[in-house]
Amino acid sequence: MTDEIMMRRTGSSKLEIIDPVSAEAFEHVPYKKDLFVVVRSRRNPKQHRLAWALASKLVDGCDFLHDSDEAMTYLKFKTRHVKVIMDQKTGKSFLMPKSISFASMTQEQFSRFLNRAIYVVCSEIIPGLPEKALRAELQAMVGSK
């Protein structure tokens, strides 16, 4: 069962499902059972699309990246959005990219990640690319201003 169901408050004590994906997920919620519900505000979906537009741009500009998922993983490593995992048997450690999902980051944390990613792209991955120009191109890619 998913715990990500987008809803909107429409009355003093009423929530309504706001999209088809959430409606489908809601079908799996047990009927007539008490549930523990966590309410949190939605993170900016336009900004999330900007991050994926940035990953797409990297795929276009870097021969070694094959798709947007790979590019996003690369960005996570370059921005140090990782955690260190220690293998208890061998004592060896390795880096694991952290999630950028809506559930794993607040809006403030995600904004910092995106700003850092744009900085890293302009300073390390595609040096000389003006940050302002990159931001404008990303905005155009997702259709927002």
- Domain with 27 in it: 1-39
* Residues 121, 84 within the same domain: yes
Show pLDDT as tens, one digit a residue, over the chain (145 residues): 445 677 888 888 888 888 777 788 888 888 899 988 877 666 788 888 899 999 999 999 899 999 999 999 999 999 999 999 999 999 999 999 999 987 788 888 999 999 999 999 999 999 999 999 999 999 998 886 5
* Residues 102, 137 within the same domain: yes
* Residues 28, 57 within the same domain: no
* Residues 67, 17 within the same domain: no
* Residues 96, 122 within the same domain: yes
* Residues 128, 65 within the same domain: yes
Kindly report the pTM of this predicted structure: 0.69
Number of structural domains, the chain?
Answer: 2
Nearest CA to 113 among 144, 78, 68?
A: 78
* Residues 131, 75 within the same domain: yes
Q: What is the DSSP string of the chain?
A: --S---EEEEETTEEEE-SHHHHHHHTTSPTT--------PPP-HHHHHHHHHHHHHHHHH-TT--SHHHHHHHHHHHTT-EEEEE-TTT--EEEEEPP-STTT--HHHHHHHHHHHHHHIIIIISTT--HHHHHHHHHHHHT--
* Residues 6, 69 within the same domain: no
* Residues 86, 16 within the same domain: no
* Residues 107, 136 within the same domain: yes
* Residues 70, 135 within the same domain: yes
* Residues 99, 30 within the same domain: no
